[in-house]
Amino acid sequence: MALHSEVDSLLLLCVLKGEINTVLKWDCSKKRKEKRCFVMAASRPGLIALFDVDGTLTAPRKVATPKMLEFMRELRKVITIGVVGGSDLVKISEQLGKTVINDYDYVFAENGLVAYRDGTVIGTQSLKSFLGEEKLTEFINFTLHYIADLDIPIKRGTFIEFRSGMLNVSPIGRNCSQEERDEFEKYDKVHNIRSKMVSVLREKFAHFNLTFSIGGQISFDVFPQGWDKTYCLKYLGDFHEIHFFGDKTYKGGNDFEIYESERTVGHTVTSPEDTVNQCTTLFLSKPDGKP
């Protein structure tokens, strides 16, 4: 191949070095070609970063900030990224945007029981089919009776939300306002309303082989054993390095199982800002540690 200019030589050198993301800047004001090789971080095939939603990419039940959304777009240029949340796709979309299934390489709603890759559904699972109507009704009836007898300052509506692969149970009710949500979270930390309720249900329905996972501010998820967030890993067989970022990585939290999994490198975060800082250090920094 004939090289017609110094710029061509520079471009070839960048390509041979594997620096595919080369940009040549044309300085027309000076009537000459100014060669600059802006090399982005090399793509890292075989590596994926998975993110919880509440407390990781957003404040609990809040919308992701424009700054966070922009950061994730930049991160996606470097590595494969995915979201794994306990909520259904509707709620995840409310927080991360209506185009979320196209903004991330993978989106795992309901712990991956409803899975998307590149905007297309790749798998679903049904709690109703797994448990059967009789067991499902028995569980729901008992839970509603328990909540009816529960002595807490405030109750609203939607105490049980039926999703494709799980039930979401909220002692206060999901119809509460944000202010009421915040107040219940404080009350729960003192009186352990959710953890006590989980203990009762776990003992009562031990023969159902269910998992109870406390997450967010006001609720907990109920699903068959093995249907926690590690369920999404079945779709990631092509990845040899799976990083997971979440805030509720303690035992009983809804990030615990995937955080502890032998297949993942777990990272505990304290806020969306902490997520950005950790990812910048891990994936976007140069060898000298600078962004």
Q: Which residues are annotated as a binding site?
A: 52, 54, 61, 163, 174, 181, 219, 221, 247, 259, 264
Listed residue (238, 282, 234) closest to 261, CA to CA = 234
Dihedrals phi, psi of 171, to nearest 5 degrees: -60, -35
Active site residue 52: yes
288 is a catalytic site residue:
no
Binding-site positions for alpha-D-mannose 1-phosphate read 61, 163, 174, 181, 219, 221
The DSSP symbol for 126 reads -
Out of 8, 52, 105, 151, which one is annotated catalytic? Answer: 52
Q: Are residues 140 and 115 in contact, defined by beta-carbon separation less than 8 angstroms?
A: no
Q: Which of 54, 88, 228, 255 is catalytic?
A: 54
Under 8 Å CB-to-CB from 238, ≥6 apart: which residues?
46
Q: Which residues are annotated as a binding site for Mg(2+)?
A: 52, 54, 247, 259, 264
E strands present in 35-173: 47-51, 80-84, 106-109, 114-117, 120-124, 160-162, 167-169
Radius of gyration, alpha carbons of the chain: 23
Active site residues: 52, 54
